């Protein structure tokens, strides 16, 4: 469970680009100079043929800066959903654009605050002309308002299936949301008879989404780890300069204990996130367990460390000028994204046979 020298160099390159460019303007240099959008795409479709560990490295760096870029929604969720359909025609048609970063994709999946495929109620019906029509409402669609490629999970007579919906279809109305975390673009999608093109096999969507959920949890865990590590670093630095009673507050034993606990949480989260990424690359049957464990551990670690950052910085952390409250908001919302820590612990318990 160690990153290679090449993977560490990838992280350094991403960090350098993020340092040179404004957070919102870094997508083009990251995709054109480093090729981050194609890391998880096979070489045959214009990608670099990398895996979950490469995605882990990039997401860790994006997490450090609370990047608003569409990497998670497009390069992970959408790309991996297309790959998981095993639809070679769809691969050849859709993956090159996603791999280059020229096309940003969005996967419309969640309903009623849940990412569980069982909860999908959006319906898809094939008309007399053979065309599919989709009706329903999707929530928490990452980068959904501006995406050029829309994938929608819907329920047919045979089960859940994945469909491509034209981005310009007026019957697929997209509404940009104003989430608590302003650095993560989300949208709501209202489908009113929108046209859909079936990807893969009708009824195979539950398998596709179950796999994408594991990869999404693994990817988000890496992002959370990077953000938590940044919070800890900044807090340690601040407690070394903020003074009370004539000495830095970081010299007080109670503060040392809190920072030590935060360090343990960050390191445990880092290990859990990397273990899940390694399992994904190895196509291990343990991936569902490790992904659930990583999402649970990293959600709680990031929330706890961001909370310590907020408290130990004092009143200034609550001002718009300070980054602490932005990290706290990202921690809070990320903890709910793709399922809460408690929900993933339930998944883990079922995987281990501890509950029915």
CB 257 within 8 A of CB 296: no
Q: What's the CA gap between 258 and 250, in Å, rounded?
A: 10
Same structural domain for residues 211 and 344?
yes
The CATH number of residue 180's host domain is: 2.40.110.20
Give pLDDT, residue 40: 97
* Residue where a domain terminates, one of 62, 82, 100: 100
Q: What's the CA gap between 263 and 286, in Å, rounded?
A: 27
Residue 356 lies in a domain: no
Same structural domain for residues 94 and 53?
yes
**SS3 category, 300:** helix
Residue 226 lies in a domain: yes
Same structural domain for residues 198 and 215?
no
Say if strands 149-156 and 105-108 run parallel, antiparallel, or are unpaired.
Answer: parallel
Q: DSSP E strands: which ranges in 64-147? A: 105-108, 123-126, 132-142
Give which of 292, 233, 302 is closest to 265, Cα–Cα. 302
pTM over 0.75: yes
Which residue blocks in the chain are alpha helix, DSSP H?
Answer: 5-20, 27-29, 52-64, 79-84, 88-100, 205-239, 253-281, 287-313, 324-336, 341-351
* Residue where a domain terminates, one of 100, 115, 147: 100
Same structural domain for residues 113 and 185?
yes
Give which of 312, 315, 325, 321 is closest to 238, Cα–Cα. 312
Say if strands 159-165 and 247-248 run parallel, antiparallel, or are unpaired.
Answer: unpaired
Give which of 89, 87, 82 is closest to 40, Cα–Cα. 82
Give pLDDT, residue 315: 77
Give pLDDT, residue 202: 96
Give pLDDT, residue 56: 98
Give pLDDT, residue 320: 75
Residue 295 lies in a domain: yes
Same structural domain for residues 91 and 109?
no
- The residue behind tokens 């790309």 is 79
Q: What's the CA gap between 282 and 292, in Å, rounded?
A: 17
Give pLDDT, residue 130: 80
Same structural domain for residues 211 and 197?
no
Same structural domain for residues 77 and 133?
no
Sign of the Cα torsion 156, 162, 164, 169 reads positive
Domain count, the chain: 3
* Residue where a domain terminates, one of 69, 100, 131: 100
Same structural domain for residues 267 and 320?
yes
Say if strands 132-142 and 243-244 run parallel, antiparallel, or are unpaired.
Answer: unpaired
Per-residue pLDDT of the chain (356 residues; tens, 9 = 90+): 889 999 999 999 999 999 999 988 999 999 999 999 999 999 999 999 999 999 999 999 999 999 999 999 999 999 999 999 999 999 999 999 999 999 999 999 999 999 999 999 999 999 888 899 999 999 999 999 999 999 999 999 999 999 999 999 999 999 999 889 999 999 999 999 999 999 999 999 999 999 999 999 999 999 999 999 999 999 999 999 888 888 988 989 999 999 999 999 999 999 999 999 999 999 999 999 999 999 999 999 999 999 999 999 887 777 877 899 999 999 999 999 999 999 999 999 998 999 86
Q: What's the CA gap between 290 and 280, in Å, rounded?
A: 9
Residue 196 phi/psi, 5-degree rounding, is -130, 145
Domain that residue 343 falls in: 207-351
**SS3 category, 17:** helix
Same structural domain for residues 120 and 79?
no
Same structural domain for residues 221 and 131?
no
Burial class (CB in 10 A: 0-12, 13-18, 19+), 264: exposed
């Amino acid at each position: 469970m160690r990153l290679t020298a090449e993977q560490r160099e990838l992280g350094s390159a991403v960090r350098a680009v993020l340092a040179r460019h404004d957070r919102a303007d870094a997508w083009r240099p990251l995709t054109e100079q480093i090729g981050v959008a194609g890391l998880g795409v096979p070489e045959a479709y214009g990608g670099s043929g990398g895996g979950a560990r490469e995605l882990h490295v990039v997401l860790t760096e994006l997490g450090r800066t609370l990047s608003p870029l569409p990497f998670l929604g497009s390069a992970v969720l959408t790309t991996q959903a297309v790959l998981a359909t095993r639809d070679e025609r769809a691969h050849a048609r859709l993956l090159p654009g996603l791999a280059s970063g020229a096309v940003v994709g969005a996967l419309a999946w969640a309903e009623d605050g849940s990412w569980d495929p069982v909860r999908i109620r959006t319906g898809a019906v094939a008309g007399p002309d053979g065309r599919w029509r989709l009706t329903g409402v999707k929530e928490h669609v990452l980068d959904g308002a501006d995406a050029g490629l829309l994938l929608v999970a819907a329920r047919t007579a045979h089960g859940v299936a994945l469909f491509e919906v034209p981005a310009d279809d007026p019957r697929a109305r997209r509404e940009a949301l104003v989430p608590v975390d302003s650095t993560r673009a989300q949208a709501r999608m209202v489908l009113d008879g929108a046209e859909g093109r079936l990807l893969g096999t009708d009824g195979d969507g539950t398998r596709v989404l179950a796999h994408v959920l594991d990869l999404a949890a693994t990817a988000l865990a890496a992002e959370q780890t990077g953000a938590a590590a940044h919070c800890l670093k900044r807090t340690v630095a601040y407690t070394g300069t903020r003074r009370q009673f004539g000495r830095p507050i970081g010299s007080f034993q109670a503060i040392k204990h809190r920072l030590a606990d935060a360090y343990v949480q960050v390191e445990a989260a880092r290990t859990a996130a990397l273990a899940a990424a390694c399992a994904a690359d190895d196509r291990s049957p343990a991936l569902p367990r490790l992904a659930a464990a990583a999402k649970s551990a990293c959600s709680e670690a990031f929330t706890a460390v961001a909370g310590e950052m907020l408290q130990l910085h004092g009143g200034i952390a609550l001002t718009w000028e300070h980054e602490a409250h932005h990290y706290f908001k990202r921690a809070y919302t990320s903890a709910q994204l793709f399922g809460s820590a408690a929900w993933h612990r339930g998944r883990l318990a079922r995987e281990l046979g501890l509950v029915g």
